[in-house]
């Protein structure tokens, strides 16, 4: 019996240390509704279309960053995006036109299915999310995804509204409750 307790304690200790090393995030109370994602679809996989996709991405991020960086809710973020859909389209079209492209952008705020995706320490599971969709031309090329809220892709450093994301270890919680 003593050996079982020692092995169980050792297994729990290794799990706690492992969870701490890998910053396991407790997402049990976070839902897909807590995020607003962005999806920019390139016209094609030709290098020129892929290059302009990133130019459009940079222009949209620069345009939206001052508006979303300080927001504290997904609803507020959706409201800002919804209020500026025409301007976001105009930003994308300006980049396309200035680079000599003969196609334009379509922009909408909608629900969309996303696969599993990791953004640094944040893992978002496959599922349906609210998303700002920017389709360049046919939109059949490789695309770029990120998150508008919390503003992970719109500001750098710890002043992006994500410094309050709390990382927890379920195993540590169980051990602490066991004491």
Structure tokens at 46: 């030709």
What are the pLDDT digits (tens) for 107-117? Answer: 999 888 878 87
**Count of beta carbons in the 10 Å neighbourhood of residue 60:** 25
CB-count burial class (<10 Å; 0-12, 13-18, 19+) for 76: middle
User: What is the spatial distance between Cα 59 and Cα 99, in angstroms, rounded to a whole number?
Assistant: 13
Strand-strand pairing, 105-114 and 117-119:
unpaired
What are the pLDDT digits (tens) for 16-53? Answer: 444 443 433 334 445 667 778 888 999 999 999 999 99
């Amino acid at each position: 019996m003593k050996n079982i307790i020692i092995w169980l304690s050792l297994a729990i200790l290794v799990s706690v240390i492992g969870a701490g090393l890998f910053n396991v995030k407790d997402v049990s109370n976070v839902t897909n509704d807590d995020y607003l994602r962005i999806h920019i679809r390139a016209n094609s996989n030709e290098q020129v279309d892929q290059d302009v996709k990133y130019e459009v991405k940079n222009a949209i991020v620069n345009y939206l960053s001052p508006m979303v960086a300080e927001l504290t809710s997904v609803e507020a973020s959706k409201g800002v995006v919804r209020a500026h859909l025409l301007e976001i389209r105009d930003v994308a079209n300006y980049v396309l036109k200035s680079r000599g492209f003969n196609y334009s952008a379509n922009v909408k705020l909608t629900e969309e299915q996303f696969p599993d995706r990791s953004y640094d320490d944040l893992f978002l599971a496959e599922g349906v999310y609210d998303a700002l969709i920017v389709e360049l031309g046919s939109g059949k090329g490789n695309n770029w995804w990120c998150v508008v809220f919390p503003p992970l892709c719109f500001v750098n450093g710890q002043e992006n509204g994500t410094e309050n994301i709390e990382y927890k270890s379920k195993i540590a919680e169980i051990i602490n409750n066991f004491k």
